[in-house]
Amino acid sequence: MRLFFALPVPPDARAALAGFTRAHRADLPFRRFVHPDDYHLTVAFLGELPDAVLPALQRSVDRLRPAAPGPLRVRLEALGAFGPAERPRVLVARGRLDPEAPFLRYRDALVAALAADGIAVDRKPFVPHVTLARDGTAPLPDLPWTPVAYTAADLVLFRSDLGKKPMYTPLHAWPL
């Protein structure tokens, strides 16, 4: 199973993001657009793991319950891309979190708890974002962007079902 922890994007913010991609689809040089039900802010990518690891994942997060920061206010402030400027791999709505936010300490504690249980997490720097599209063919044009703000209430363990739309299946959720 390909697994990750994420903060789902609630319906009103999903609608705003989907409205943006729909309105600018002809201007956005990407081949594949993310299904709105799949919009999320990744907290920790775990990769391919056997089914047998699910109880350990749940225990790791359950141990952190007392440190849960409470609902998180997310603000997607800008449109951006990952990858080479001339042909970006991914179109994203970039988020901003206060570097002192309790959520970042919670995320660090989650990564440490998983490591203590022998579960490796992708070590790329944490860059809050929501992926909107993939497989760019040209530079990202300068498009008008209206920030999207929402409250994330849950940390969710998702499974990727590649090839399906939507392709992310929630397996378990914990209140923040």
**Which tokens go with 20?**
């943006």
Q: Examine the residue annotation and report whether 129 is marked as an active-site residue of this protein.
A: yes
* Distance separating alpha carbons of residues 176 and 3, to the nearest angstrom: 19
Q: Examine the residue annotation and report whether 40 is marked as an active-site residue of this protein.
A: yes
> The tokens 């903060």 sit on which residue?
7
| Cis amide leading into 166 (omega within 30) | yes
- Residue 14's H or E segment, with its range, is helix 11-24
Which amino acid is residue 149, in one-letter code?
Answer: A
* Distance separating alpha carbons of residues 81 and 87, to the nearest angstrom: 9
* Distance separating alpha carbons of residues 94 and 127, to the nearest angstrom: 8
Query: Which residues carry out catalysis?
Result: 40, 129
